[in-house]
Amino acid sequence: MSHNEETPGVGASDGQQGARTGPESQHLAELGPREMYEAAEKLCRTTNGDGPPEASAARAVGRIAETLADTRSRGSATFAVDLVSRLLPEVAMPPDEGDRLLRSVAAKVVKSQHLRDIEPLFREVPDGIPDPAVELRACLLGELALIGSGTGRRSLEAYAEKLCELGHPLARLPGARLDVEHRFAVRVRGLGAVKSAKQLRSRFPEAPSTDGGAVAGCGAGDARDDGRANAAARPFTAGGWAREPEARFFTLPSPLGPDDFGISFIKELSLRCLAGEGSRRGSALACVTTPDDVLNELFSASYVGGVNGHGQGGAYARLYAWESFCALMGLPTDVPLLEAVRRAADYRWLRFMAFTDWFHHDTSDLAFAVLDPTRTRVAVLAATDTDVHRDALG
């Protein structure tokens, strides 16, 4: 393929900023990269008059930027980046929508463009963080890390070092995928959402139910920590899952028995997700899982986004997953990620499900419990992407 050939990607716009309809959109689709960029510039100028900016024009520019990011040709990456980092901040767009667009463009550029056409975007190192141009390039570096590209490129590494010096949150992430992240953004046939007890048992070994676990659960004390809870729930809140996640922490007066960390213990905790347990047909169960499984689910929650939410792009989905993962273990926010991986081996990890009004078993339900090495501290995180208002409709 010629490097000057224009190849619009399939699904260049995910439709989350509005559908392309009407003769104007059809006309834009027929333009080349430079013509699309010039059309977007014109739209931006029309929103900067004396009157209030037109949000619809801003969204149209956003769609053009995503199309350019998804069109493989020399110059497309530069045009797309310029639109979202220089022109769009000057027009009206809600902050959350602007962040989503910026992250979407970064992901599409890395997926669709040659690295040699991305590298020139990093010729100058930043002198501060609060700049859409800097934020977009930080996302580009994060996306490149996930696909194992960009290492050994001096300009990219210099930019990453400066971001670290400035304290950008994404600079915490390693420049290459860790082994524990091997499933990030990888689709494996047969490994979709776990919706039934049969599926859970077929993929993970069941943790036995014990009387000792039930007794210990009754004695667990609530250890509220709002900051830690927010960090643990972030992948789901950022991705726009339908219901607010439940992140809870408990302490035990004495170490939990080696075999007592199972569903009988969890059922005695004061959890909203287990309220009314047994009101639906089926029995609650818990299965032993691994840190990489938990980390992958946390990544997917914000990478894919909820049914009424938006995906956050690979860079921030990775950051939110690690923040949640460390919060579940109660580790400091600045712990090196390889140290978090080392410590995770000493924790015990469970997936669990029940048959309550929380667990609908029809879209995405997730619930984890984590026991620390002292066996005296437990973290629980539960999330569901089922629209809670649907039941009221019958």
Check residues 21 and 339 and name the one with the higher pLDDT: 339
Q: Is residue 177 domain-shared with residue 201, that is, in the same domain?
A: no
The pLDDT value recorded for residue 47 is 57
Q: Is the predicted pLDDT of residue 264 greater than 90, yes or no? A: yes
Helices (H) and strands (E) in the chain, counts: 15, 8
CA–CA distances in Å: residue 171 to residues 86, 237, 251: 22, 22, 33
Share of the chain above pLDDT 70, in %: 84
Whether the pLDDT of residue 164 is over 70: the answer is yes
What is residue 26's predicted lDDT score, i.e. its pLDDT?
54
- Mean pLDDT, rounded, for 356-362: 81
pLDDT for the residue 51? 45
Q: 44 or 221: whose pLDDT is higher?
A: 221
Q: Please state, in angstroms and rounded to a whole number, the distance separating the CA atoms of residues 9 and 69.
A: 9
Please tell me whether residues 24 and 154 are part of one structural domain.
yes
> In this structure, are 30 and 173 located in the same domain?
yes
Weakest-pLDDT range from 9-13, 48-52, 212-216, 330-334: 9-13
201 shares a domain with 175: no
User: Residue range 162-175: average pLDDT?
Assistant: 95
The residue with greater pLDDT, 93 or 355, is 355
Please tell me whether residues 165 and 234 are part of one structural domain.
Answer: no
Tell me whether residue 190 is in a domain. Answer: no
pLDDT for residue 5: 41
**Least reliable range by pLDDT among 128-142, 228-242, 320-334, 352-366:** 352-366
228 within domain boundaries:
yes
Question: How is 11-79 classified by DSSP, letter by letter?
Answer: TSS-STT----HHHHHHHHTS-HHHHHHHHHHHHHHTSSSS---HHHHHHHHHHHHHHHTEESTTHHHH
Q: State the residue range of the domain holding 130.
A: 7-181
pLDDT band at residue 145 using 50, 70 and 90 as cut-offs: very high
Q: Residue 366: inside a domain, yes or no?
A: yes
> Is residue 246 helix, strand or coil?
strand
Query: Which comes out higher in pLDDT, residue 360 or 104?
Result: 104
Out of 194-203, 248-257, 267-276, least confident range: 194-203
Can you tell me the mean pLDDT for 140-153? 90
pLDDT at 86: 80
Is it the case that residue 16 has pLDDT exceeding 50? no
Closest C-alpha among 231, 258, 245, 390 to residue 326: 231
Task: Tokens 């619809």: give the residue.
Answer: 56
* DSSP code for 206: B
Q: Examine the domain organization and report whether 74 and 220 are in the same domain.
A: no
Structure tokens at 301: 């929650």
In a domain, 189, yes or no: no
- Residues 229, 88: one domain? no
Quick one: DSSP state of residue 209? P
Tell me if 186 is assigned to some domain: no
Averaged pLDDT, 145-163: 91
Res. 39 pLDDT band, cuts 50 70 90: confident
Of the candidates 124, 152, 181, which is a domain's last residue?
Answer: 181
Task: Identify whether residues 16 and 106 lie together within a single domain.
Answer: yes
Q: Which of the pair, 230 or 21, is modelled with greater confidence?
A: 230
Q: What is the pLDDT of residue 324?
A: 98
Please indicate, yes or no, whether residues 34 and 78 belong to a single structural domain of this protein.
yes
Domain count, the chain: 2
Given a cut of 80, is residue 187 above it in pLDDT? no
CA–CA separation, 36 vs 388, rounded Å?
42
What does the pLDDT read at residue 279? 63
CA 161/CA 279 separation, integer angstroms: 54
The residue out of 148, 181, 214 marking a domain boundary is 181
> In 3D, which of 137, 138, 132, 41 has the Cα closest to residue 95?
132
CATH number of the domain to which 261 belongs:
3.40.1000
Residue 60 included in any domain = yes
- pLDDT score of 309: 86
Q: What is the mean pLDDT of residues 17-38?
A: 62
> What dihedral do alpha carbons 298, 303, 304, 308 form, nearest 10°?
90
Average pLDDT, the chain: 85
Clarify whether residues 29 and 131 are in a common domain. yes
Is residue 109 located within the same domain as residue 11? yes
Domain co-membership, 239 together with 308: yes
Which among 259, 287, 302, 291 is positioned nearest to 354, based on CA atoms?
287
The domain boundary residue, chosen from 146, 181, 216:
181
Q: What is the dihedral of CA 77, 78, 84, 85, to 10 degrees?
A: 130
Q: What's the pLDDT tens digit per position in 55-84?
A: 777 788 888 889 999 888 888 999 999 988
**Is residue 27 situated within a structural domain?**
yes
Q: Beta partners for 288?
A: 350
Identify whether 317 is part of a domain.
Answer: yes
Task: Please state, for a pLDDT cut of 90, what percent of the chain lies above it.
Answer: 56
Cα 52 → chain centroid: 33
pTM: 0.87
Which parts of 85-219 are beta strand (E)?
Answer: none
pLDDT at 1: 37
173/100 Cα distance (integer angstroms) = 20
pLDDT for 158: 95
Confidence of residue 89 (pLDDT cuts 50, 70, 90): low
